Amino acid sequence: MHSISPQQRTIIESLAIGLDADEVAEDLSITELSVISNTQLLAILHAANACYRAGFPIIDDATYDHQYLAELQQRDPTHEFLSLVEPEVTTGKTVTLPQKMLSTDKAYSVTEIEKWVERIRKAAQEINVPESDIQIRITPKLDGYAAFDDGERLYTRGDGVRGQDITRAFTRGMAVAQHGMRGLGPGEIVISKSYFTQHLAEQFENSRNIQAAIIAEKNVEPAVKQAINEQACVFYPFSLLPNWTGSLDEVLSDFSALLEPIWDAVDYDIDGVILETTHPDIKTHMGATRHHHRWQIAFKVNDESAEVEVLNVTPQTSRTGRISPVAELVPTKLSGATISRATVHHYNMVKTNGVGPGAVVQLVRSGLVIPKIEKVLHAVTPQLPETCPSCGSHIIWEADHLICPNKTDCSAQTENTLVHFFKSLGNNDGFGPKVIEKLHQHDM
Ligand SMILES: [Zn+2]
C-alpha cells in the first residue's frame, strides 16, 4: 500500500472527501486507473492537491498531471475540478478577511498589455482625468504565499473572502521586508532565493515546503526558525516593492526594455510583473470583477528558447572569490528582450562541455527569470582563464569552480562584498556599485 506520513494523514482527514487517509492510500496503489470510480479519482486529486499545497506532496507532479488529472480530463472534460485556480486548501477554521483579496488578470503578450492600456485611457476619459495625471506602477510579481496584514493579525488569502489567521508567523519572529511596518495590507511570504540555495536546498525540495512550515501550527524546524531569524523569510507587502512608475506612453514605447531591471530587482522567486494604475478615481471607476481588479494586470512570459552563438567567455570574480564564467553572446531576442550575455553555471561546465568562441548553446528563458544556458549544442575548445581578472593572482580549482585564493587584496572580492553589504541593508541612497568602485579606488 502507498505509505502516508502523519502530516499527510492529518491533511487528508480534514478534507471531507468521502474517503479516509487509508482508503486514499489504498487507491493510490491501484495502477490500472480505469477500475477506480469517479469518487475515488476525485478524492485522490483533492488529497494530492491539499498535500502538495501544504508542502507534503503525496505523489509527484508528473503523476498528478499525466495520470490522475489526465484521467479526469478524459472522463469529464468539463468537470469543475479542472477549472479551479490552484485552490488553496484551508485545514482549520476560517475568519472573514479585513479586505477582499482578489486574483490578478493575466496577459501573455504585449498586445494584451496595449489593450489594457486602452481600457485605462477610456476609463480616464469617461471621468475627465487628463492623461498627464495617469501613472502606471510596475512591480515584480512575487511567487510566494499570499497573505494580508492588518497590523494586528496576518491572514491567508483562503478563497479571497475568508482566510485563516496565521499571525503566529509574526510571533515566530518573521520580519516585514524592507524594514517595513506592520499593517501594510496585502503581500506575500517569501524566501530569499540565494539563502534557499545556500542553506535550505539540501533539506527542502522547494520553497513551498518552507512557506508551509512558517505558517504551520506545529513547531517550526530549526532550519526554518533560523531562516526567519536571519530575515531570509519575510512578509513582503506589495506597497514596499521596488517599482517603476511612468506614463502610459512610456509603458508602450519600449515595454521589454522597461521590464529588464524589474525581474532582477528582488532576490525572491517571481513569476511575472504586475502593472497597475495608481490614480484613485480611475481605480474606483474601473472597479473589479469577482475575480480581479480591472485596473491591474499581470504580465507573464512563456518559456522560450533559442540557439545562440558564443562570442567569448569572460571570467568575473565574485565576492566569495569564485570566478564566474559569463558567456558573451551574439545578441538574440528571447521573450521580448535582447540577450547578449548569460552566466554559465561554473568553469567545470565550460571545460567539460567545450564553451568558447564559436560554440553554439541553447538559451532558455523561463518566465521572467534570467536566461540560462540549458545545453551546449556545438562544442569548441573551452576558454579557461589562468589568472584572476581582478587581481591577477594565479587561480585554482575547487570542485567545479575556479577560485581566486587572494582573500585579502583582490579588489573584486572587497568591492563586491561592499555592494552585497549595502544591498543587504536594503536601502537605495546612492551606494551603488559605481560609488563603491570610486571609494575603493580612492582607498576609502
Ligand atoms: Zn583576485
Could you read off the pLDDT of 351-371 as tens digits, one per residue? 999 999 999 998 876 554 557
Mean pLDDT of 215-237: 90
Any residues with CB less than 8 A from the CB of 304 and at least 6 apart, and which? Answer: 334, 335, 364, 365
Any bridge partners for residue 378, and if so which?
360
d(CA 192, CA 319): 18
- pLDDT in the model for residue 184: 96
Domain end, chosen from 299, 330, 348, is at: 299
- Taking the C-alpha atoms of residue 52 and residue 44, their distance in angstroms, rounded to an integer, is 12
Task: Give 389 Cα–ligand 1 centroid separation in angstroms.
Answer: 7
| Same domain, residue pair 313 and 235 | no
Q: Are residues 177 and 227 in the same domain?
A: yes
pLDDT tens readout for residues 388-405: 999 999 999 998 899 999
Assign residue 250 the CATH number of its domain.
3.30.470.30
Structural domains of the chain, count = 4
Q: What is the 416 CA–ligand 1 centroid distance (Å)? A: 12
The answer to whether residue 94 is domain-embedded is: no
User: Per the domain annotation, does 100 fall within a domain?
Assistant: no
Are both 279 and 308 inside the same structural domain?
Answer: no
The single residue listed with the C-alpha cell 484551508 is: 90
* CA gap 326, 16 in Å, rounded: 53
Catalytic residues: 141
d(CA 258, CA 242): 13
Is beta strand 304-317 parallel, antiparallel or unpaired with respect to 322-334?
antiparallel
What are φ and ψ of residue 235, in 5° steps? -95, 120
Same domain, yes or no, for 350 and 423?
no
CA distance 275 to 283: 13
User: In this structure, are 268 and 317 located in the same domain?
Assistant: no
Classify residue 1: in a domain, yes or no. Answer: no
Mark whether 242 and 380 lie in a shared domain.
no
Rounded CA separation 306/137 (Å): 31
Is pLDDT of 91 > 60?
A: no
Asked whether residue 40 carries a pLDDT value surpassing 70, the answer given is: yes
Task: Show Cβ contacts of residue 5 under 8 Å, excluding neighbours closer than 6 positions.
Answer: 56
Domain boundary among 278, 299, 320: 299
Question: 88 CA distance to ligand 1 centroid (A)?
Answer: 49
Residue 175 C-alpha to ligand 1 middle, in angstroms?
Answer: 36
Q: Are 383 and 289 in contact (CB under 8 A)?
A: no
233 and 122 within one domain: yes
Question: Distance, CA 196 to ligand 1 centroid (Å)?
Answer: 27
Instruction: Report residue 53's pLDDT band, with 50, 70 and 90 as the boundaries.
Output: confident
Kindly state whether residue 234 falls inside one of the protein's structural domains.
Answer: yes
Q: What angle do CA 377, 380, 386 make, to 5 degrees?
A: 125
How high is the pLDDT of residue 245? Answer: 95
- Taking the chain, what is the end-to-end CA distance rounded to the nearest angstrom? 67
Domain housing 418: 411-441
Q: State the pLDDT at residue 444.
A: 43
- Measured CA to CA in angstroms, residue 38 lies from 44, 70, 73, 80, 414 at distances of 10, 13, 12, 13, 63
Domain co-membership, 73 together with 139: no
Q: What is the CATH number of the domain that holds 386?
A: 2.40.50.140
* Element spanning 49, H or E: helix 38-53
Give the span between the Cα atoms of 167 and 156, in whole angstroms: 10
Amino acid of residue 406: N
Residues 74 and 115 both lie in one domain: no
Select from 289, 270, 279, 299 the least CA-distant residue to 138: 299
Instruction: Report the alpha-carbon distance of residue 199 to residue 211 in Å, rounded.
Output: 15
